[in-house]
A and B are shown apart, each in its own frame.
Chain A
Amino acid sequence: MSFEKIKHHLLTVDKPARYIGGEFNSAKPKKNAPCKFLMCFPDVYDVALSNLGIKILYHLLNEGKNITCEFAFAPWFDMEKLMREHEVELYSLETKTPAKEFDMLGFSLQYELSYTNILYMLDLANIPLRASERNEEFPLIIGGGPCSVNPQPIADFFDLFVIGDGEDVLPKVCEEYTKLKANGTYNKREFLQKISTFEGVFVPSLNQEKIKKAQVKDLDKTYFPTKMIVPNLEVVHNRATLEIFRGCAKGCRFCQAGFIYRPMRMRKVDTLIDLAKRSMSDIGYDEMSLSSLSTCDYPYLRELLQKLKPIAEEKKVSIALPSTRVDSFESEFIDGARKSSLTFAVEAATQRLRDVIRKNITEEDILSSCKKAFESGYSGVKLYFMIGLPTETEEDIKEIITLAKKIKWYYKQYAKNKKPLRLVVSSSVFVPKPFTPFQWEKQLPLDEVIKTQNFLKNELRRLGIKYSYHDAKSSQLEAILCRGGRELSYVIEDAYRNGCCFDSWTDKFQYDKWVEALNKYELGPNELTKEQKGTLAWHNIDVGVPHELLEKEREKARNF
């Protein structure tokens, strides 16, 4: 086994526990399963095992008697070096089997800046990057996850994509493969032809007119694992997660997740209680997160919390409510929880701009929530804004300062805590995303983003308010990659060959190399982030949101 070659050198790399497998609740590999699936996440172990989607699919696939599924993640640079030195290929965590020996590699596409890492993992597996360069000897390369709604920039690297919810269609794809392999009639081309008729399957090598996303109809009856794999190390989100609903009740115009996961589908309270009980005893975390895109919009939240509380208390498990929105923030939740910091994703500082983006909160909501929170002992507030939103003016930016000042004043008036107020303003850069009403919009040019960031930095520093902001350059690349067409595959490959990898890691991001790669193909960042006209790269994908609806929403947005 190739892993044996590096086993005794593991102490030379950072966090060796990332590479050893043996996680509690990891699936027992079925040696003779006809369909061997390798679930890949193009980032390091700690990030990968914080993702819920791959864990659901991993356990689901392993339920099938003909399928065995293992994990592989992107090794950090020190491990890459060790592996290359000893000629060890990318291997699976569970059985240390080389990736190449699997029938399928499924990549989770969570963010565009992980695209070079897909190539990195294929490269480490000694698998040719382009689908056209791979014969039947090589595994099928599959993509899925939110970025697959516009798969074009990476389409040439993949044999197929599963767009939408994977729970129903992915096992079907594996079963079809098993069937053909068993009766000896497997042929890659014919297999791809066959599965291209399945809901949600996109095969780049075929000319499919329209691809409708796959969708689980009844989430309440949809599989959810309770014996979930427990990482060897403290990872980013180290807690049990319960998906209470899929989709979002709101329709913020900038938010891709709000559109592509439609419609909103819920699990019933009793189902959730049952899942929670089993998760607590099968996993053992001391924290359980009730996860969704906007948890406080779950209509039975009160009932769920009331039933869950005694169970959690007995097991000494604390309940976390992520994605708590300002407008659904209730003081009753504040009372029980630890009094630390409030987070508001305000996005825009003026009511006009909030109307443009359809963010349904008012300044009064924010300030009254702050008042309640301050009165009950909170001393920290985080405000998230987006800069470069469509129709944004100087006024909208200046109002960020005004809002911050008001919160400071409120703290002086109402604070019970003697600590000084910790106010943090954060800004990200607006990225126009496919399948949102803003999919055609321009992104604010780099120099203007930096000018705005500098303005905020100076003004907020004067007020003693901490300011943090997302890098403008990586946001620009995100905008390019998320709306790009097939031609971008050459850019991505060039960038990777020139050393771009782990682009989502700020200190590893090499903007200049990306610009160089774009320029080589006579593409410019400014050109690609302009307002889009004509046919969009994702025109043949149907996520269930009609084109007309997006156009209508765009018009409405422009009228504020």
Chain B
Amino acid sequence: MVIIKFEKVNMREFIPHLDIMRVFNMAFRRAGLSVNYSEGFNPHALFFFCQPLPLGVMSKAEYFTVSTVEKAEEIMNKLNKTLPKGLKILKAKTVESDPNFAASCNRAEYVAEFFEDLPDFDIKNTILIKDKFLLTRIDKNGIEKTKDVRSLIFKLSQNNNKLKMCLGYGNENLRVDALIKQLFINYACHNMVKSITKTKVYDKNDVDFDKKYFGV
């Protein structure tokens, strides 16, 4: 087993999650690195990813586990030559067993940048002191659904044209794009998003995945 941290930038944020898994599978094959396959009728390469990144969101902190006999160092060197520009392995480490990232991830940090400075949301005295934050979305059947997501907002701050957020990630997930959309509705703000980047992932005790799994 090898755990891997990679980044997804340079327009690759528009590649959907399923295609990203395909890209890695192909990159491993191009690199001549073997991957273990599942047994059964429809064998598939054993990659274990976390919660998919929403389309259009860049990331400096994506994690997955791959079942392989290859060495971590080898993977890091070879794979970066066979991945398309914008996908890059940042860290790789050999581990005994699958750490199950999907289950241990709890929150993620994001930075959103806008074209112009944001109006003052007065976050500290409004959103953060309240015990409710309602998020309305339209589900796939076209029905409007409202959910309280306050408990999934761990941190929220603004600075000129930037929003910094730490949001529930994993089983209890809050989509960063959905939160921004709701904020903009609430404050009648029409500023345009320049970029959204996921920067860090933490477990439920607020320990950075880098520290927890890679030791740095």
Interface residues of A (CB under 8 A from B): 8, 10-11, 16-17, 20-24, 230, 232-234, 280-286, 315-317
Q: List 23 A-B contacts (CB under 8 A).
A: A8-B115, A10-B56, A11-B55, A17-B16, A20-B14, A22-B10, A22-B85, A22-B86, A24-B23, A230-B26, A230-B84, A232-B14, A233-B15, A233-B16, A234-B22, A281-B29, A281-B32, A284-B25, A284-B26, A284-B27, A284-B82, A286-B29, A316-B37
Q: Enumerate chain B residues within 8 angstroms of A280, measured Cβ to Cβ.
A: 29
Main secondary structure on B side of the interface with A = mixed
Q: Enumerate chain A residues within 8 angstroms of B10, measured Cβ to Cβ.
A: 22
- The 3 A-B pairs at the shortest CB distance, nearest first, are namely A284-B26, A284-B30, A284-B29
Query: Are A234 and B194 in contact (CB-based, < 8 A)?
Result: no
Q: Enumerate chain B residues within 8 angstroms of A17, measured Cβ to Cβ.
A: 14-16, 19
Q: B residues 24-38 with Cβ under 8 Å of A?
A: 25-30, 32, 37
Q: Enumerate chain A residues within 8 angstroms of B193, measured Cβ to Cβ.
A: 8
Also in contact, A285 and B19, with CB within 8 A (given A22-B12, A22-B85): no
Query: Are A23 and B194 in contact (CB-based, < 8 A)?
Result: no
Tell me how far the C-beta of A419 lies from the nearest C-beta in chain B, rounded to whole angstroms.
14
Please, which residue of chain B has its CB at the minimum distance from the CB of A18?
B14
Q: Enumerate chain B residues within 8 angstroms of A316, measured Cβ to Cβ.
A: 29, 37
B192 interfacial contact with A, CB 8 Å: yes
The distance in angstroms between the C-alpha atoms of A282 and B27, with both chains bound, is: 9
Q: Pick the contact of A233 from B19, B27, B37 — CB < 8 Å?
A: B19
The distance in angstroms between the C-alpha atoms of A230 and B25, with both chains bound, is: 13
Q: Enumerate chain B residues within 8 angstroms of A286, measured Cβ to Cβ.
A: 25-26, 29
Query: Are B194 and A8 in contact (CB-based, < 8 A)?
Result: yes
Please, which residue of chain B has its CB at the minimum distance from the CB of A233?
B19
Instruction: Mark B108-133 against chain A: 1 for CB-CB distance below 8 A, else 0.
Output: 00000001000000000000000000
B216 interfacial contact with A, CB 8 Å: no
Interface residues of B (CB under 8 A from A): 10-12, 14-16, 18-19, 22-23, 25-30, 32, 37, 55-56, 82-86, 115, 192-194
The distance in angstroms between the C-alpha atoms of A286 and B24, with both chains bound, is: 12
Also in contact, A232 and B15, with CB within 8 A (given A281-B30, A283-B26, A285-B26): yes
Please, which residue of chain B has its CB at the minimum distance from the CB of A26?
B84
Also in contact, A16 and B14, with CB within 8 A (given A234-B22, A281-B30, A284-B29): yes
Tell me how far the C-beta of B45 lies from the nearest C-beta in chain A, rounded to whole angstroms.
8
Query: Are A24 and B84 in contact (CB-based, < 8 A)?
Result: yes
Q: Pick the contact of B84 from A10, A11, A22, A283 — CB < 8 Å?
A: A22
The distance in angstroms between the C-alpha atoms of A377 and B25, with both chains bound, is: 31
Query: Are A315 and B194 in contact (CB-based, < 8 A)?
Result: no
The distance in angstroms between the C-alpha atoms of A86 and B49, with both chains bound, is: 37
The distance in angstroms between the C-alpha atoms of A390 and B186, with both chains bound, is: 68
Query: Are A283 and B30 in contact (CB-based, < 8 A)?
Result: yes
Query: Are A16 and B55 in contact (CB-based, < 8 A)?
Result: yes
Tell me how far the C-beta of B188 lies from the nearest C-beta in chain A, rounded to whole angstroms.
20
Query: Are A315 and B29 in contact (CB-based, < 8 A)?
Result: yes
The distance in angstroms between the C-alpha atoms of A23 and B10, with both chains bound, is: 12
Q: Enumerate chain B residues within 8 angstroms of A10, measured Cβ to Cβ.
A: 14, 56
Q: Pick the contact of B18 from A22, A234, A283, A315 — CB < 8 Å?
A: A234
Tell me how far the C-beta of A289 lies from the nearest C-beta in chain B, rounded to whole angstroms.
16
Query: Are B19 and A234 in contact (CB-based, < 8 A)?
Result: yes
Query: Are B25 and A8 in contact (CB-based, < 8 A)?
Result: no
Please, which residue of chain B has its CB at the minimum distance from the CB of A20?
B11
Please, which residue of chain A has its CB at the minimum distance from the CB of B54?
A11
Tell me how far the C-beta of A370 lies from the nearest C-beta in chain B, rounded to whole angstroms.
23
